[in-house]
Structure 1
Amino acid sequence: MWPKNCWYIAGFAQEVGQKLLARKLLNQAVILWRTAENKLVAMEDRCPHRLVPLSMGELVEDQVQCGYHGLRFNAQGACTHVPGQDNLPKAAQVKLFRVVERHALVWIWLGAAELADESLIPDMHWLDAPGWTPTTGYHHMKADYRLLTDNLLDLSHETYVHRETIGNSAVADSPVVTSVEGGLIVRAHREMPNIDPPPFFSLMLNHTGKINRWQIAVFMPPGMNMTDVGAHPVGTDREKAAIFRVLHLLTPETEHSTHYFWAVCRNFRLDDAPLGEGLKKAIIHTFDEDQRILEVQDRCLQEEGMPSIPQAAVKVDIAPVQGRRLLNDVIKREQENPSAVIRPLLMADDAKVAQPPAMAAE
């Protein structure tokens, strides 16, 4: 269902403080918190005494106190206190997970601990790099994370699902060029020249006339997705286009639920707070629309016994099918070789403005 020897996102860095944050990640119950020295801690949400979730307790003097019998565990997972007795049972140890803060995100390694390597953390620098302003949010999706990636690799649905924000007829009618890079990244490139701007693009450009727009759906297993978006008024220079790097960062919760951490990172109007507020409102509305579709789709698939999809393939399925193949290859490699890890590639190059596929190939 998913590989484990890779870094997943457990939350935004700002979510994790000196209070227990409980999350289920890859069917594993976890609690996250910070010590008084700001050290990140991720441990199993399970008291080794009577298996009650530690998240039902609280932090006391930089330690997790179980809400059932008051046993305490320090940041190393060791039991330090049992009410009513002096001796500490050796079996009272809580499992820890490797956790790292980078790019304003908290990354967790749930696979083989000896394989955890910080150099394998994907580059998401747009969240905290100079020259970019992020607008962030979170959706809890009751759907298989693979359905979310399918949806993000086939953006033709914008015409029908998102007509109030980012979609119009130009999206579904524009041809897509799909490519695979390094056996790990799928790119689905769509150019939309001389089109009417959907509402979202009128907001971002403060312009209601014709625009040139492109978007590249980018996927890297297991759940790193980006929509690389550019737009500029017709008659202006492509090199000066307004660019969005829309990050869709997926961590499976269970087989049929997903943590969807998202960020709309822009390279223009960086200090425009009202623009950021408008973008957030529009994006929440957009992803709410995705959520309705995807959760219904997941329920339908479960009712039919989880058949393979698409049942009737069309052209727009090329990128999602390629994405599934790459993901399946990664899962298979890990099953055949328990030491296999995912070595991420760069999803977008800030030094280059995306060119139409025919020009890029020259």
Structure 2
Amino acid sequence: MLIENTWYVAAWSHEVPDGAMFPRVITGLPIVMYRKADGEIVALEDRCCHRGAPLSLGRREGDCVRCMYHGLKFDSAGTCVEAPAQQRIPPRVKVRTFPVVERHRWIWIWMGDPALANPDAIPDTHWLDDPAWRSLPGYIHYGVNYLLICDNLLDFSHLPFVHPTTLGGSEDYATVQPKIERLDNGVRVTRWTINTDAPRYAAAVKEWPGKVDRWNIYDFTLPAVLCMDSGMAPTGTGAPEGTRVNAAEFRGCQALTPETENSTHYFFSHPHNFAIDQPEVTRSIHQSVVDAFDEDREIITAQQKNLALDPTFRMTAFGIDSALSQFRWVVDRQLAEEREARQQLTGER
């Protein structure tokens, strides 16, 4: 099962240009997004209520969409406003609409009860378009369940082994036991590695006098959103105490959106606040992240194939799995609450 009552990232803003229709499957539902004349994003179920044809294969007519199978026309509220050869249109002839919010270059969609869609619950990712930071947009498609990717993001001890030439750094990074804190809707992970080598992606864009103190501090919250303060500073300059001298700072923003139970959309960006007038630095950082995430996809996809061979296999937990376990508990709690709410609603009927 997948969480419904939450904000998912549906697309980057540039993926939905003026005049176009953009289809994407989210939590097993086909969605089509487009912009009205005023620029506002519309999200409709990409399935005509007549015969189930994709509206994304239809035709834009102003702020409306016409299905090009039998010609039904729907407005931006999902109501059928025209049906050829039929003067009276029953009120139930409509397609489902979804609340959407466009904020800081991401388009967020609410897949559950619209009455519960509170935009204030959307995580802060302002670094994506803050003029003091620079980054490029990233997207990867995975053919695995999103929780396996969550596991990967909740345990960074894999970095020096999966990413030795990109994000990893030296293997002493894997020996650090992070601090794990429970949040209402997720976990906070704090990891410091003192007096270590700068990872190659950082050494490629900034000169370091020697060893560095490296930090990764991030919230990982429902449904699967990572907002991270990370970076490094020369060892002994006070970074652990809050003084960041000659540091390289980043504000990673990552979001996993289930396409189906066994496939995932992965949106990411890695804003930095140094050398922001040097686009080659931004490109270098972004490419290192893309290369690293491709490495993640390779190992996680292989893991998924292995697990599928034996559904009875049970993973062995280690101490480093604390954040994974706590986040999965939060997911299970949310799923249980939604299941109970549906049962109560059914009982009232």
Question: Structure 2-normalised TM-score?
Answer: 0.89
| Residues in 1 aligned to 2:157 and 2:208: alpha-carbon distance in whole angstroms | 23
Aligned equivalent of 1:192? 193
Mapped contact 2:6–2:110 kept (Cα < 8 A): yes
Measured against aligned partners, the alpha-carbon deviations of 1:302-349 in whole angstroms (never above 9, x if no partner) come to 2222754xx22222212211221222222223323459xxxxxxxxxx
Aligned length: 338
Q: Is the 8 A contact 1:142 1:256 kept in 2?
A: yes
1:13 equivalent in structure 2: 13
Corresponding residue of 1:347: none
- Report the Cα distance in structure 2 between the residues aligned to 1:94 and 1:171, rounded to whole angstroms: 54
Contact residue 21 and residue 34 of structure 2 kept, 8 A = yes
Judged with a 3 Å threshold, the aligned counterparts in structure 2 of structure 1 residues 71 and 167 are, in CA distance, closer, same or farther, namely: same
Q: Distance in 2 between matches of 1:170 and 1:227?
A: 21
Contact 1:154 1:316 in 2 (8 A): yes
Q: Aligned partners of 1:173, 1:120: CA distance in 2, in Å? A: 33
Equivalent positions of 1:1-362 (< 5 A) are: 1-17=1-17, 18-84=19-85, 86-207=87-208, 209-238=210-239, 239-240=244-245, 241-305=247-311, 307-308=313-314, 311-337=315-341
Question: How far 1:54 moved relative to its partner?
Answer: 1.1
Counterpart CA distance in 2 for 1:32 and 1:306 is 40
| In structure 1, C-alpha distance between the alignment counterparts of 2:89 and 2:10, rounded to whole Å | 31
Contact in 2 for aligned 1:149/1:225 (Cα 8 Å): no
Q: C-alpha separation between the residues in 2 aligned to 1:63 and 1:16?
A: 16
Q: Decide which moves more: 189-198 or 110-119.
A: 189-198
CA distance in 2, matches of 1:336, 1:82: 39
- Distance 1:178-1:194 versus aligned 2 partners, 3 A rule: closer
Q: Is the 8 A contact 2:42 2:76 kept in 1?
A: yes
Task: Give the counterpart letter for 1:94 in structure 2.
Answer: V
Question: Contact between 2:167 and 2:289, CA under 8 Å: does it hold in 1?
Answer: no
Structure 2 residues not aligned, in runs of 5+:
344-349
- Give the deviation of 1:223 after TM superposition: 0.6
**Which stretch has the larger CA shift, 1-10 or 76-85?**
76-85
Deviates more, 1:267-276 or 1:177-186: 177-186
State the match for 1:356 in structure 2. Answer: none
| AA at the equivalent of 1:8 | Y
Shift of the 182–196 alpha-carbon distance from structure 1 to 2, 3 Å rule, reads: closer
Taking structure 1 as reference, are residues 313 and 181 closer, same or farther at Cα in structure 2, changes over 3 Å only? closer
Q: How many Å separate the matches in 1 of 2:214 and 2:331?
A: 29
Q: Name 2:347's counterpart in structure 1.
A: none
Q: Distance in 2 between matches of 1:34 and 1:74?
A: 12
Identity of aligned residues (%): 37
Residues 183 and 91 of structure 1, relative CA distance in 2, 3 Å threshold: closer
The answer to whether the 8 Å contact 2:170/2:199 transfers is no
Instruction: Give the drift of 1:296.
Output: 1.8
* 1:279, distance to aligned residue in structure 2 (A): 1.3
Larger CA deviation: 53-62 vs 244-253: 53-62
Structure 1 unaligned segments of length 5 or more: list them: 340-362
